[in-house]
Structure 1
Amino acid sequence: MGIWTTVKNTPADTPITFETESGQKINHADLVNTIDEARQGYWYWTALSAPEGHSQTMKGSQSHDGVDQVYYGRRFMFTDDGAQVSLDYALDKPDLKQWDEDVKYAPQEGLPRYPVRTRYLKPAETAARDNPKETRPLVIHLHGLTGGSHESYVRSTIVAIREHNDVENVVLTARGCNRSPIISPQLSCPLWTNDLRYYLSLVKSTQPNRRIYAVGYSLGAAVLANYLGQESEASPLSGACVVSAPWDLYVNHLTLHNSIIGNNIYEPAMAANLNRLIRNNQKVLDQNAFFKERIHAGPPPKSMWEFHDRYTAPFLGFDSVFDYYRCASPVHRLRNIRTPCLILAAEDDPVCGDTVVPYLDASRNPYTHVVSTTTGGHLGWFPLKGQRWHSKVVAKYILAMESVDTRKVHAEFNYPARRFFNGSRLVY
């Protein structure tokens, strides 16, 4: 607890080096240090209403609907496994009379009511977003557990990015979240990176001249980190920001379970959100015999680990929830990341905990850089005045990355991108 928040900057031992537009060279650590708010020792006055991690987290869970208002245009993406995924594109502030007319349009019947400040894109607007001549950078946002584009931490980042960059922002909605209906019996989890992969393939195939960045928050950060490690050198992203990630899901479980507030407030609240997602999509999920059996197996789970033990772990083929936690943890794929990646964390994060932040692992990977704060909670970072800390850092990082050629990257490291195993034997 404190009246100010201090920044800790942990770069890679041998960071990657970029070329600037003028032909000069700059390494990743120096590029991050061009961001005042990310420099070692930077500090700011903490919001008086949120002096420590729990209050920052609870403040961050509120809607803050009066600030950082963002209007969205939604379209559907249909994946190759038959799912329907919502893409929420940030729009310019509309004429409200015209907005009242535009919200009357729906691409199909029987859709849930609109999320706040969201309407469906008309066919001409959808086609415009597939313009092959589009060259503006695209920033993809991956929200947290059962969240969406309406979350205050997403909106604040989009507002900050718009102040510094001429880019397009889109929120990739996890299946079943933010009034996005599930039409195939499959739920999202940190290992489910296919929706992000599929969307990236569509963008790169139709708009090959765009730079693409991604920002992940909490569970979305775990999805993004897993994706970066899975794809390694094949990732089409020019840069990524991983914000408040649960790097080790088992350690995160212990952090919550061993905390009075975590075990009695956070866990039940998150489980309730997941149970609501199940109820809202039960008709479709019942089409899967496994889900149908599990949904009717007893009273709704009261904690995250109970939910994952009943649904997520067995559906994905794991022996138990703890087997799932260990295998799905993105820390295992951090060493394979070959995309410039800024990791943001708070030491007083009551959901993930500071022990889960991979300071040492990230320092060995030239592509990763950790910036942490003494206060901030889980997706909080509220200062006494002005924009949230993480929003400013993410926006300025993307601006800095736009000044370098991410196709010309030099890295020095002495381990390969991947380790290969044959059973339990390491194969070199």
Structure 2
Amino acid sequence: MPLIEPSSYRPPARLWNGHLQTIVPSLFRRVTVNYLRERLETPDDDFLDLDWAFALVGSRQLAVAPVPTANRPLPTKDCPLVILSHGLEGDSSRPYVAGMVRHLTQHGFDCLAWNFRSCSGEMNRQLRFYHSGATDDLNYVVQFAIGKGYKNISLIGYSLGGNLTLKYIGERGHALPGEVKKAVAFSVPLDLAASSVMIDRGFSRVYLRRFLRHLQAKVVGKEKLFPEKISSKDYRRVRTFADFDDRYTAPLHGFRNAQDYYQQNSSIRFLRGIAIPTLIINAKNDPLLAPECYPENLARELPNVYMEFPEQGGHCGFPSSDPVNGVYWSEQRALAFLTS
């Protein structure tokens, strides 16, 4: 599909650069969603916590039964469903997820915002965490939703969750479940290796340090469960994503090292296999994305993938210059694509 240009996105005048467009929505936006949580047990004796929100009619929520167990699926749903995948060290409550859920439920969509292993507020049981290419978990969530009766499913992913979403639909190609109709991905590190270097430069190191502090807490929590298999000792030597992925992500998930992990899981390798209409939106001023994450020439070759690279937007930001009821441009853009 052709590259979508120019993009319609325009930021608020007071948020004039990528850092402000990233930080202000993350720290100061408040969105409340009344989720119903359901715990999904996985085949490897672990769990995923799923947060449901259902389509609204006017100001009232549609009447639904309490969220059932995995053994008692919901009846077939007339509403389309959107499954949302958050970013690194995020969860279903992050403003970019909650804002999208609120907007979509107001326009007739059910939403399932799933929390990656260890991200729901409770440490998962197994030694493994989550990572950019763990499509087995996303597939399990998709199959679970199909078992509930949903026949029209779309996927939305952000950052790490965007990479996960694109890899999932690309690696399955025409074998993707027929119920999955469309996908949207925002702020995607299409090239993981290049982006891991980008975040180690200039002011972007502020984000890197924040992520590494959060990940350290996860390592310490996991160490309590598996003291013989994982150690937080000398964590101060972990100063980059490559350091963390070499020491933890790669060995815990079966990769030789960080570079092997990046090479096997970068979603740019899987874009040619995508067989459903898919929209990728990466802001050119995103402080976390490398130049390799804007493959304009590739965008013009792919039959099912639309790419839109706004000049502004930041990372998982895209605040609107003229918001309607607090709706962000990314939410309006996703809805327009899903309903087109």
Instruction: With the length of structure 2 as denominator, give the TM-score of the two structures.
Output: 0.88
1:162: which partner in 2?
105
Kindly provide the amino acid, as one letter, of the partner of residue 165 in structure 2. L
CA contact (8 A) 1:347 1:353 kept: no
The partner residue of 1:225 within 154, 163, 166 is 166
Q: Aligned with 2:27: secondary structure?
A: coil
Q: Is the 8 Å Cα contact of residues 33 and 98 (structure 2) preserved in structure 1?
A: yes
Alignment-derived partner of residue 275 in structure 2: 338
What is aligned with 1:273? 214
AA matched with 1:192: A
Partner residue of 1:188? 130
CA displacement 1:197-255 (0-9 Å, x = unmatched): 11212222341x52111100000001111111121111121100011110001110221
Aligned pair 1:368/2:305, yes or no?
A: yes
- Contact in 1 for aligned 2:127/2:252 (Cα 8 Å): no
Please tell me the residue identity of whatever aligns with 2:229.
F
Kindly name which structure, 1 or 2, has the bigger radius of gyration based on alpha carbons.
1
> Is the Cα contact below 8 Å between 1:216 and 1:223 reproduced in 2?
yes
- Match for residue 36 of structure 1? none
Question: Structure 1 residue 322: deviation in Å?
Answer: 2.1
Is the 8 Å Cα contact of residues 60 and 378 (structure 1) preserved in structure 2?
Answer: no
Cα deviation for residue 136 of structure 1 reads 1.5
C-alpha distance 226-42 of structure 1, shift in aligned 2 (>3 A): closer
Alignment match, 1:85: 48
Q: Kindly state the Cα deviation for residue 327 of structure 1 after the two structures are TM-superposed.
A: 2.0
Could you say if the C-alpha distance between residues 285 and 340 of structure 1 is closer, same or farther in structure 2, counting changes exceeding 3 Å? farther
> Hey, what's the Cα distance between the residues in 1 that align with 2:17 and 2:236?
35
Instruction: Judge conservation of contact 2:52–2:113 (CA < 8 Å) in 1.
Output: yes
CA contact (8 A) 2:55 2:79 kept: no
Aligned-pair Cα RMSD in Å:
2.4
The question of 1:134 aligning with 2:73 is answered: no
2:223 to 282, 285, 293: 282
Is the contact made by 1:53 and 1:376 (CA closer than 8 Å) also made in structure 2?
A: yes
Q: Deviations over 1:59-112 (max 9, x none)?
A: 2321512xx32111111000111111100112579xxxxxxxxxxxxxxxxxxx
The answer as to 2:338 corresponding to 1:393 is no
Pick aligned residue for 2:188 from 245, 267, 291: 245
Does structure 1 conserve the Cα–Cα contact (< 8 Å) formed by 2:284 and 2:312?
yes
Read off the aligned partner of 1:49 and give its amino acid letter. R
Q: How does 1:3-402 map to 2 (within 5 A)?
A: 11-12=1-2, 40-41=5-6, 43=8, 45-65=10-30, 68-90=31-53, 124-126=66-68, 130-163=73-106, 165-207=107-149, 210-236=151-177, 237-257=180-200, 259-263=201-205, 265-286=206-227, 289-291=228-230, 294-296=231-233, 298-299=235-236, 301-386=238-323, 387-400=327-340
Call closer, same or farther: CA 1:322–1:134 in 2, change over 3 Å.
Answer: same
**Structure 1 position 300, deviation (Å):** 6.5
Once residues 162 and 95 of structure 2 are traced to their aligned partners in structure 1, the CA distance between those partners, rounded to angstroms, is 16
Displacement, 1:336?
1.0
Matching residue's letter, 2:186? V
Gaps of 5+ in 2: 57-63
Q: Is the 8 A contact 2:38 2:69 kept in 1?
A: no
Change (3 A) 1:123 1:138: closer
Residues of 2 paired with 1:63 and 1:77: CA distance? 31
| SS class of match (1:390) | helix
**Deviation string for 1:155-199 (max 9, x for gaps)?**
121222233x31210111101113033112111001211111112
Q: Give, as a single letter, the amino acid of the residue that structure 2 aligns with 1:138.
A: L
TM-score, scaled relative to structure 1: 0.71
Contact kept in structure 2, 1:71 and 1:92, CA below 8 Å: no
| Closer, same or farther: CA 366–320 of 1 in aligned 2, 3 Å | same
Q: Do the aligned partners of residues 211 and 92 (structure 1) sit closer, same or farther apart at CA in structure 2, a change above 3 Å counting?
A: closer
Looking at structure 1, the residues matched to 90 and 156 of structure 2 have their Cα atoms a distance apart, in angstroms, of 14
Question: Do the aligned partners of 1:146 and 1:178 also contact (CA within 8 Å) in 2?
Answer: no
Structure 1 gaps of 5+ residues are 1-10, 14-38, 94-121, 401-428
1:332 Cα deviation after fit: 0.8
Return closer, same or farther for 1:238/1:395 CA change in 2, 3 Å cut-off: same
Distance 1:178 1:268, change over 3 A: same
Alpha carbons of structure 1 residues 227 and 44: separation in structure 2 relative to 1, 3 Å: closer
Structure 2 CA distance for aligned equivalents of residues 358 and 42 of structure 1: 16
SS at structure 2 position matched to 1:360: helix
Over the matched positions of the two proteins, sequence identity in percent amounts to: 25
Letter in 2 for 1:173: N
